[in-house]
Structure 1
Amino acid sequence: MLNASTSFWNFLIAGTYVYNQLNVTLVCTLAIQKFGRVEAIRRFAEYRGYDCAHMHVLQSQ
């Protein structure tokens, strides 16, 4: 369990450094699945002030 958790956090940390379109798409997809598209867009906009490119990814899911 510890190994799985550690791997997850390592992945998350690496993802923040290697921040590419794939990561954005994944995060957006997960947020949409959890909150729904409209709520996900609102939360992303409030949390990070996401730019048009990120919002486009959210809206195109």
Structure 2
Amino acid sequence: MTVNWVALLQVFGATLLATTVVVTLFVLGIRALSGDRKVPAYASFAGCVAVVLYGLSLIVF
């Protein structure tokens, strides 16, 4: 049994990128809410939801 290290690194990179995107969008949303800018905040949270739902769809389907 061998480990496919390239595939493992690809999964690690994709996970790191997705986590960074979700955290960044969430922080931007929180920051926009603190400045009373509702539309950019909701757009950031919608982006978070979109990334999470896309990840779930990859797992399920």
Same fold per TM (> 0.5)? Answer: no
Task: Calculate the TM-score normalised by the size of structure 2.
Answer: 0.29
Task: Calculate the TM-score normalised by the size of structure 1.
Answer: 0.29
Structure exhibiting the larger radius of gyration computed from Cα positions: 2
Higher relative contact order (CA 8 A, sep 6+): 1
